[in-house]
Amino acid sequence: MKKRLLMVSNRLPVKIAADGTATRTAGGLASALEGAELENEQIWVGWPGGAEEEFDDPEAISKQLNEQNTWPVFLSQAELDGFYEGYANSTLWPILHYMVERAKFSQEWWDSYKAVNQKFADVILSIAQDGDMIWIHDYHLFLLPELLRGTNMNLRVGFFLHTPFCSSEVFRVLPHRAELLRGVLGADIIGFHTSSYLRHFRSTLLRVLGKESEMDSIWYGGREVRLLAAPIGHNHLGFQKCMEREDFGEIVAEHREELNGKRLVLSVERLDYTKGVPQKLTAIHRFLKDNPEWCDEVIFVLISVPSRQGVEEYDQLTEEVQRAVGAINGEFGSVGHSPVQFLHRGFPPADLAALYALSELCLVTPLRDGMNLVAKEFLDCQREEIAGRPGVLILSELAGAAEELSNAIQVNPHNTEEVADAIARALEMPDEERKFRIEAMQRRLRLRHSGPWAQSFVEDLEKVPAREQRVAVF
């Protein structure tokens, strides 16, 4: 019989209604498993959203969810402040993205992070059975792998980091760097998006713990921990389904009409400081200034999904972006045309697919990004017959995706002139070159979408030897 798979992430892939019923949400990890063809029974463990205090009867909700193989870890408002907003998002997130000056440190947040990781461990250990595979996701849960080692059960534990793993010079800034590393080394397999992140992790192990490792493994605590670079793919099947919908042609037609004959340059991102939206706007300003003949021809559409609203830093970012957009439109707009459209909301997946398909150019310029799925989704949804000509991807060299997408125009997102010139170069690029570039990338990423990525990680976990077969070398 196939081993059970427990998928563990900070956030559950479900929406909980007031009466406690859960519906699977599109996107994220749940969609990564689409096309993975896993026969394993799957159980989800994670935070259901909201503060525990807001639910009338968390126990009853828990019971309902359990029937759908979902195990919620309820978090109190204090835990959300300390663990989530605090340590995970205000300490670890900026450090992992090299933004040391944004990182804040607090002993209370750290205590809360430890307590919540323990809470996850308690829930998992209360349901785990001998032989289960446990796949833990992301920086919120660095300590969890080690916390699961305290049992006699034969568990196979995998950990995947969705953000970059920064250089040891940056990681060592964290006051609790050694505990974090020991925590994650409790896993049997640790995966990263790129070989650079893996290299940084290995040098951090050496610097901080004094532990030598091989390219793809380390002996730690009497067992072998496998290390791997496994770049995540996008949800190819999900986007394909959208584009096969009967009404897809109508959705495309509606958006085409909105464009009013202008050439579409698209950006899609959560409004997060790592995504470099103000820097992108500076480059757009520069492009329009240097190339006034394009002002009436192109439209830059920035879809910015709101992120962490209510957090001061993020609210300031929103205002900064709105101001910059207003300034550009004031300077370069004309009656009836604003060159930049800032759409501060999420769109249904089919609309996103239609916009990807209609774009002539996609501008993906994060200051740092673990992978960046938008770049892959754009390439996959591009259809010459919809856009009229093959599209071009401008991609930040500081996104993990840059290691794979070598046929994109790669730019340094901090270099305003370089990005502005890349926009002009892309718009003027002959169709033949566009076609050559995009087809090379499409072939590759349609094979390596999220399904095979998840399947291969789970297959690796299945191969982890049982406890008694592991060799103790110490």
Asked whether position 448 contacts ligand GDG by CB under 6 A, the answer is no
CB of 26 to ligand GDG, least distance (A): 6
- Whether 290 sits among the annotated catalytic residues: the reply is no
Residue nearer to ligand GDG on the CB measure, 426 or 454: 454
Cβ-based nearer residue to ligand GDG, 362 or 386: 362
Decide: is 163 part of the binding site for ligand GDG (CB under 6 A).
Answer: yes
30 near ligand GDG (CB under 6 A): no
Query: Considering beta carbons, is residue 268 or 420 the nearer one to ligand GDG?
Result: 268
HSE (CB half, 13 Å, CA atoms) of 452? 10
Active-site residue among 97, 137, 162, 176?
Answer: 162
146 scored as a contact of ligand GDG (CB under 6 A): no
Site for ligand GDG in 376-395 (CB under 6 A): 377
* CB nearer ligand GDG, residue 374 or residue 423: 374
Cβ closer to ligand GDG: 68 or 307? 307
Name the minimum Å distance from CB 310 to ligand GDG.
Answer: 18
Please identify which residue in 20, 349, 390, 413 interacts with ligand GDG, judged by CB under 6 A: 349
| List 73, 180, 268, 328, residue binding ligand GDG (CB under 6 A) | 268
- Binding window for ligand GDG (CB under 6 A); candidates: 314-322, 325-333, 341-349, 387-395: 341-349
Residue 162 contacts ligand GDG per CB under 6 A: yes
Nearer to ligand GDG, 180 or 355 (CB): 355
- Asked if residue 92 binds ligand GDG (CB under 6 A), the reply is no
Q: Does 242 bind ligand GDG (CB under 6 A)?
A: no
Q: Which amino acid, residue 185?
A: L
Among residues 112, 168, 213, 372, the one that binds ligand GDG under rule CB under 6 A? 372
The yes or no reply on residue 271 touching ligand GDG (CB under 6 A) is no
Burial of residue 348 (CB within 10 Å: 0-12, 13-18, 19+) is exposed
Residue 369 binding ligand GDG, by CB under 6 A: yes
**Interaction of residue 449 with ligand GDG, rule CB under 6 A:** no
Closest approach of ligand GDG to the CB of residue 214, in Å: 25
Q: How far apart are CA 2 and CA 40, in angstroms?
A: 5
Is residue 306 a contact point for ligand GDG (CB under 6 A)? no
Catalytic residue check, 296 = no
Which residues are near ligand GDG by CB under 6 A? 27, 162-163, 232, 268, 270, 303, 305, 346-347, 349, 352, 369-374, 377
The residues annotated as belonging to the active site are 162, 369
